[in-house]
């Protein structure tokens, strides 16, 4: 896991979402409230981005990120242009950024390296949104917080247990949970824990909300009294050569019926998708009444609509 920790500091020309902390806690709460309103009344916001144009850059394959951003833009009255493949293979990234800022009002980038997001934000004078990087997945975490709020009617005091790889999703969940007063327990195999600097940052934020942050190598300990159990694939895009080894290492970290039973009776199951059924979770858990994975997927649309509106107001 990369050791670099990027501090919250928006570019002078725009408010960005390079990572979760580019939104203040107040802005995060406002975004979730706005997303709820936008979900309930699509027609009310149908012209909110009329005349605005968004760049979508995809270095990685995408279903949820691409469809939900394209639909979010269209449902708000705007339009998008997209590029699939390497972003800066023919010219420097700083030149790409300064071209795109002249043509479009905001840049969404789904990339391999967080450094690509940082450089785009450094050079572009329009907002840059991280659609996924190796270090953070802030748009997914926004949808997850919205889903938890819908399921339980509150966020503060809930317990979220994440079981699996201490990856970009785990990092974003830690940072948002800590700020919203959600107790967050991360269970990974030894050596696969989340970035230590991000954990420390989450604990510092949690001290203000009195949330508890736990990192353990025991999945049953993590899910004890949990309101939600979350998992992700064991080998992310770019880690395909490690897939076989990771299946062995993570074998005891599958979210199955037994592990779900160790949480609260009303606990929900969460996954950012796509899922490898039979690996990080079972088909039975995915299809159970506890599963809210498709609510999460739907809420990518609503959370991102709120994000776009806030960044382009």
Q: Does the active-site annotation cover 26?
A: no
* Active-site position among 144, 272, 296, 302: 272
pLDDT in tens, 33-73: 999 999 999 999 999 999 999 999 999 999 999 999 999 99
Q: What pLDDT was estimated at residue 239?
A: 78
Domain 138-296 classified CATH 2.60.40.10? no
Q: Does the active-site annotation cover 140?
A: yes
Q: How far apart are CA 136 and CA 37, in angstroms?
A: 26
Please tell me the least confidently modeled range out of 30-34, 202-206, 239-243: 239-243
Assess whether pLDDT exceeds 90 at residue 98. yes
Assess whether pLDDT exceeds 80 at residue 238. no
Query: What single string gives the DSSP state of each residue in 245-296?
Result: HHHHHTGGG-B-HHHHHTS-TT-EEEE-S---BTTTB-HHHHTSTTB-HHHH
pLDDT in tens, 113-155: 999 999 999 999 999 999 999 999 999 999 999 999 999 999 9
Q: Does the active-site annotation cover 110?
A: yes
Q: What pLDDT was estimated at residue 4?
A: 40
Which residues make up the CATH 3.40.50.1370 domain(s) of the chain?
Answer: 20-137+299-312, 138-296
* Active-site position among 11, 105, 114, 140: 140
* Active-site position among 176, 184, 232, 246: 232
Q: Does the active-site annotation cover 139?
A: no
Q: How far apart are CA 281 and CA 291, in angstroms?
A: 11
Domain 20-137+299-312 classified CATH 3.20.20.70? no
């Amino acid at each position: 896991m990369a050791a670099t920790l990027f501090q919250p500091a928006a570019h002078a020309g725009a408010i960005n979402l390079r990572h979760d902390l580019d939104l203040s806690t107040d802005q995060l709460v406002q975004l979730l409230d706005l997303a709820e309103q936008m979900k309930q009344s699509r027609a009310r916001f149908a012209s909110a981005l009329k005349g605005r144009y968004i760049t979508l850059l995809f270095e990685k394959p995408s279903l949820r990120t691409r469809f939900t951003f394209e639909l979010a833009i269209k449902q708000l009255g705007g339009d998008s242009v997209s590029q699939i493949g390497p972003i800066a293979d023919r010219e420097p990234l700083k030149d790409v950024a300064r071209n795109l800022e002249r043509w479009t009002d905001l840049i969404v980038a789904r990339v391999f390296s967080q450094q690509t997001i940082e450089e785009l934000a450094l050079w572009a004078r329009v907002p840059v949104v991280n659609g996924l990087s190796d270090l953070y997945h802030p748009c997914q975490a926004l949808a997850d917080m919205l889903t938890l709020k819908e399921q339980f009617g509150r966020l503060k005091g809930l317990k979220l247990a994440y079981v699996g790889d201490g990856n970009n999703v785990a990092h974003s969940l830690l940072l948002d949970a800590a700020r919203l007063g959600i107790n967050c327990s991360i269970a990974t195999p030894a050596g696969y824990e989340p970035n230590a600097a991000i954990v420390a940052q989450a604990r510092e934020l949690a001290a203000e909300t009195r949330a508890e942050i736990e990192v353990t190598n025991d999945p049953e300990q993590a899910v004890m009294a949990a309101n939600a159990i979350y998992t992700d694939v064991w080998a992310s895009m770019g880690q395909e050569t490690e897939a076989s080894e990771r299946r062995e290492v993570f074998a005891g970290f599958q979210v199955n019926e037994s592990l779900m039973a160790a949480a609260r009776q009303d606990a929900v199951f969460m996954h950012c998708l796509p899922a490898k059924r039979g690996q990080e979770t079972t088909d039975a858990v995915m299809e159970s009444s506890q599963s809210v994975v498709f609510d999460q997927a739907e809420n990518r649309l609503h959370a991102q609509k709120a994000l776009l509106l806030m960044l382009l107001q």
